[in-house]
Chain A
Amino acid sequence: MENLLEIKDLYVNYETDESVVHALNGFTLNVKKGETLGLVGETGAGKTTMCLSVLRLLPEGVSKVEGGSIQYDGKDVLSMNKSELRQMRGAQISMIFQDPMTSLNPVMRVGDQIKEVLSLHNPELSDKQKDERVDDILKLVGISPDRKDQFPHQFSGGMKQRVVIAMALVAEPQLLLADEPTTALDVTIQAQILALMKQLKEKFDSSMILITHDLGIVAEFCDSVAIVYAGEVIETGSIEQVFERTKNHPYTEGLFNCIPDLTSHAARLTPIPGYMADPTNLPTGCKFADRCGRCIDKCRQAAPEMVEVDPGHFVKCNQMEKGGSGL
């Protein structure tokens, strides 16, 4: 299948008064058309930075793309001019932000906020047609269209996120970047929202990157998965390949070991020791080396290469062999 989005070797830094934060360090990721890709990693691993880079919405002045490329549908995103970017944002790629509480303009009616996307990207529609599209999308996300004249503060968190989703989908984009769309919501609402997103994504035939730190969500909703650690993808493959748990990156294994397993008799969970590498002061070799139980000298000296352990299943670890069994 064709790749819709190709991120290659992307480096992004944030520069603060005190230090330089290396947020993305050779981030490489491909998303196929129609695919739902789960992106998993700890807070601070660079997941949100990746999304903002794709939309070129990194905060000006403090952040800098140091290298690499982003291709969307064959076009080079990093060299797009302002008007090309505007055509892309909202219409081709749209983003669902992590916190629905602050993502909506507090002084604008929700209907108007959704309609704005249509005014920007479907100017050929008449006002009445736009209103109809807004009503339709609101119904799809489970909000009664009579509420479109209300303001964001009149909605609950879950309802706000539905509004955000409606806003992201109304122009039927090809790629949806969902940045932990359910983290700020109650567990009971989480499943509803995710099911809704899956259903809508299928309806509009879009691709989606679903960012989460919950492997359970990934298993349930995604086709493939990429594991991110300290600003780079360290493992990627189909859900089956990764969840088989035979050839995983030690960090992925660690993640799995943190999930309570009701069928096993293990008395307690096994957490990953230590903290994520300091992004202001990254080690030269493998960034996971300090926390890795299988770290060897080689890991300290040079960063490992991506190894294709199975067709389409890649792991960035020195102890993996092509097509081999790892350890």
Chain B
Amino acid sequence: MIKYTLRRLLLMIPVILGITFLVFFILLASPGNVAQMVLGPEATAEDIAMKEHDLGLDQPIVVQYIKYMWNALHGDFGTSWFQNFNVMEEFSHRIPYTLSLGFLAIGWACVLGIPIGIIAAVRHNHMTDYVVTFFSLLLSSAPAFWLGMMYQLFFAQKLGWLPASGVGSFKYYILPSLSLGGGILASNARTTRTWLLDVIRSDYVRTARAKGNKESTVIVKHALRNSLLPVITQIGVSFSIIMGGSVITETVYAFPGIGSFLINAVKTKDIPIVMACIVVVAVIVGLTNLVVDLLYAVVDPRVQLGSKKG
């Protein structure tokens, strides 16, 4: 298990190098004079040339990339081109917000989504099942930013229960995390339902019934663990979706995480910030995938770590 974990961690390195190079390349190779944008329209050609030299833009992209990565490896993600602050420092303030929002969103999705799916499967073809199925479809069909705005309108504006935006106590996290996790919640409920229904019809569940088990024992002890396997895989995938969704949710709720930060950086081509975001997100996503695979092996005795390769 330790050997497998180390191997997976090593495999993450080329992937992160690949994605960072790709993003670095498309950002720098694309049209538009960055130095001009930084300095504003009144800058002279000399100013621009000087700035380009300062930022290292006059060197070949590969050289710039290697320099950037070398510094990043030493914890130096550079300085914002537009606002002159240290990217690493800013990030250390912002990442905790994004992560706690993300974990809370995943938390809702599991704590609410999985039981809802179980109830729907157990009450298959009853009213409850139809209602759950319909609402989960509805929830995964609505754009997250729009749902976020609707929550604001309803729970903050109309009812005044919760704050509409910003950060502070736990209350400030409820609406953003619900809108961030809403889609995953819905798909967790649907996946749990589908797989549980599938497993309920399997031979070994019939065996469990033939032994004289109570229906509730059949579901909890025999069916559930088997049907949660695909849900675990899905939670791994969800984490990536959550990291992406945080860009939108944080914008809607004016939440000071890395998502809202990235959007502004992208619009201004503030490459150090964009790069840092990509690196951080790729590492977080990679690590969660690893954790999910390890978890999967714990739950399913058939999985042999190491022999399974993406």
Binding site for B on A (CB under 8 A): 55, 57, 59, 61, 82, 85-91, 94-95, 97, 99, 102-108, 116-117, 120-121, 151, 153, 164, 167
Cβ of B211 and Cβ of A107 under 8 Å apart?
Answer: no
**A105-B226, A106-B226, A121-B212 known; A57 vs B206 contact (CB < 8 Å):** yes
Cβ of A97 and Cβ of B211 under 8 Å apart?
Answer: no
With both beta carbons as reference points, the residue of chain A lying nearest to B226 in the complex is identified as: A107
Most chain A CB within 10 A, of B206, B215, B299, B300, is at B206
Q: Hey, which chain B residues are within 8 Å of A57, CB to CB?
A: 206, 209-210
Cβ of A86 and Cβ of B300 under 8 Å apart?
Answer: no
**CA A94 to CA B207, docked complex, whole Å:** 9
**CA A99 to CA B202, docked complex, whole Å:** 11
Cβ of A86 and Cβ of B214 under 8 Å apart?
Answer: yes
* Binary flags per residue of B198-217, CB closer than 8 Å to A gives 1, else 0: 00011110111111111100
> Whole-angstrom distance from the CB of B181 to the nearest CB of chain A?
27
With both beta carbons as reference points, the residue of chain A lying nearest to B202 in the complex is identified as: A102
* Binary flags per residue of B214-236, CB closer than 8 Å to A gives 1, else 0: 11000000100110000000000
Please name 23 pairs of A and B residues whose Cβ atoms are closer than 8 Å in the assembled complex, sorted by A: A57-B209, A57-B210, A82-B215, A85-B212, A86-B213, A87-B212, A89-B211, A90-B211, A94-B211, A97-B206, A97-B207, A99-B203, A102-B204, A103-B207, A104-B204, A105-B204, A105-B207, A105-B226, A107-B226, A116-B213, A117-B211, A153-B301, A153-B302
Cβ of A94 and Cβ of B210 under 8 Å apart?
Answer: yes
Q: Hey, which chain A residues are within 8 Å of B211, CB to CB?
A: 89-90, 94, 116-117, 120, 167
Q: Hey, which chain B residues are within 8 Å of A108, CB to CB?
A: 222
Cβ of A107 and Cβ of B225 under 8 Å apart?
Answer: yes
Cβ of A151 and Cβ of B302 under 8 Å apart?
Answer: yes
With both beta carbons as reference points, the residue of chain A lying nearest to B215 in the complex is identified as: A82
Cβ of B302 and Cβ of A55 under 8 Å apart?
Answer: no
**CA A89 to CA B210, docked complex, whole Å:** 5
8 Å CB contact of A105 from B201, B210, B222, B299: B222
**CA A117 to CA B212, docked complex, whole Å:** 8
8 Å CB contact of A107 from B125, B210, B299: B299
**CA A120 to CA B208, docked complex, whole Å:** 11
Cβ of B212 and Cβ of A91 under 8 Å apart?
Answer: yes
Q: Hey, which chain A residues are within 8 Å of B215, CB to CB?
A: 82
Within 8 A of A (CB), among B260-310: 299-302
* New A-B pairs, 17, CB < 8 Å, besides A86-B214, A104-B207: A57-B206, A57-B210, A59-B201, A82-B215, A86-B213, A87-B212, A89-B211, A90-B212, A94-B210, A97-B206, A102-B203, A103-B203, A105-B208, A105-B222, A107-B226, A116-B213, A117-B212
**CA A104 to CA B211, docked complex, whole Å:** 12
Cβ of A95 and Cβ of B210 under 8 Å apart?
Answer: yes
> Whole-angstrom distance from the CB of B299 to the nearest CB of chain A?
7
- For the complex, count residues of B whose C-beta is within 8 A of A: 22
> Whole-angstrom distance from the CB of B241 to the nearest CB of chain A?
27
Q: Hey, which chain B residues are within 8 Å of A85, CB to CB?
A: 212
Most chain A CB within 10 A, of B208, B210, B300, is at B210
Q: Hey, which chain A residues are within 8 Å of B302, CB to CB?
A: 106-107, 151, 153
> Whole-angstrom distance from the CB of B214 to the nearest CB of chain A?
7
> Whole-angstrom distance from the CB of B87 to the nearest CB of chain A?
46
**A105-B222, A106-B204, A107-B226 known; A120 vs B299 contact (CB < 8 Å):** no
Q: Hey, which chain B residues are within 8 Å of A88, CB to CB?
A: 212
Cβ of B226 and Cβ of A86 under 8 Å apart?
Answer: no
Cβ of B300 and Cβ of A107 under 8 Å apart?
Answer: yes
With both beta carbons as reference points, the residue of chain A lying nearest to B124 in the complex is identified as: A61
> Whole-angstrom distance from the CB of A43 to the nearest CB of chain B?
17
Q: Hey, which chain B residues are within 8 Å of A105, CB to CB?
A: 204, 207-208, 222, 226
Most chain A CB within 10 A, of B202, B212, B226, B301, is at B212
Q: Hey, which chain B residues are within 8 Å of A61, CB to CB?
A: 125
**CA A102 to CA B212, docked complex, whole Å:** 18
Q: Hey, which chain B residues are within 8 Å of A95, CB to CB?
A: 210
**CA A164 to CA B204, docked complex, whole Å:** 10
Cβ of A107 and Cβ of B301 under 8 Å apart?
Answer: yes
**CA A288 to CA B165, docked complex, whole Å:** 76
With both beta carbons as reference points, the residue of chain B lying nearest to A177 in the complex is identified as: B210
Within 8 A of A (CB), among B97-148: 125
**CA A167 to CA B225, docked complex, whole Å:** 21
In order of increasing CB-CB distance, the 3 nearest A-B pairs are A90-B212, A89-B212, A102-B203
> Whole-angstrom distance from the CB of A161 to the nearest CB of chain B?
12
Q: Hey, which chain B residues are within 8 Å of A59, CB to CB?
A: 201
Q: Hey, which chain B residues are within 8 Å of A151, CB to CB?
A: 301-302
> Whole-angstrom distance from the CB of B24 to the nearest CB of chain A?
45
**CA A89 to CA B209, docked complex, whole Å:** 8
> Whole-angstrom distance from the CB of B297 to the nearest CB of chain A?
12
> Whole-angstrom distance from the CB of A179 to the nearest CB of chain B?
11
Cβ of B210 and Cβ of A90 under 8 Å apart?
Answer: yes
**A86-B214, A151-B302 known; A97 vs B209 contact (CB < 8 Å):** no
With both beta carbons as reference points, the residue of chain B lying nearest to A61 in the complex is identified as: B125
**A61-B125, A107-B225 known; A97 vs B212 contact (CB < 8 Å):** no
Q: Hey, which chain A residues are within 8 Å of B202, CB to CB?
A: 102
**CA A238 to CA B222, docked complex, whole Å:** 41
> Whole-angstrom distance from the CB of B216 to the nearest CB of chain A?
11
Q: Hey, which chain A residues are within 8 Å of B226, CB to CB?
A: 105-107
**CA A293 to CA B7, docked complex, whole Å:** 70
**CA A99 to CA B211, docked complex, whole Å:** 16
> Whole-angstrom distance from the CB of A214 to the nearest CB of chain B?
22
Most chain A CB within 10 A, of B204, B222, B299, is at B204
Q: Hey, which chain B residues are within 8 Å of A87, CB to CB?
A: 212
**CA A94 to CA B213, docked complex, whole Å:** 12
Cβ of B210 and Cβ of A55 under 8 Å apart?
Answer: yes
Within 8 A of A (CB), among B163-211: 201-204, 206-211
